[in-house]
Amino acid sequence: MENPLDSVFAALADPTRRAILAMLLEDDMAVTDVAEPFEMSLAAISKHLAILTRAGLISQEKRGRVKWCKLEPDALREASVWMQSFGQFEPVNLDAFERFLEAELKD
């Protein structure tokens, strides 16, 4: 079984997945809405969503015929606690993290 932190950091390593997380900071989104801004197939987005789900960063649920995605920030908190254990990092402020993601995505 893979270490949960390994899954989180592996999921965060991809810019598309970080962009998806930034989008979900605003609100829950339908999978089709998540896929809209990306120039890739719905199947490719679904693979990214599956990785984020396995890492615990998002959850997915079906509401009627539509599959929705929701940000699950607890996995980020666990990663933050792990980083803090080194004593070199400040606690992760999720509002600051959102601003960071938005700034990164503008490039």
pLDDT tens for each residue of 51-74: 999 999 999 999 999 999 999 988
What pLDDT, on the 0 to 100 scale, is given for residue 88? 61
Domain residue ranges in the chain: 4-72
Q: What integer pLDDT is reported at residue 65 of this predicted model?
A: 94
Q: Which residues of the chain have pLDDT under 50?
A: none
Q: Which two tokens stand for residue 51?
A: 């990785």
How many Å apart are CA 60 and CA 103, to the nearest integer?
26
CATH of domain 4-72: 1.10.10.10
- Residue 24's pLDDT is 95
Main-chain dihedrals φ then ψ at residue 80, nearest 5 degrees: -65, -45
**pLDDT given at position 107:** 60
Q: In 3D, which of 54, 28, 55, 32 has the Cα closest to residue 45?
A: 32
Q: According to the model, what pLDDT value does residue 92 have? A: 65
- The model's pTM: 0.77
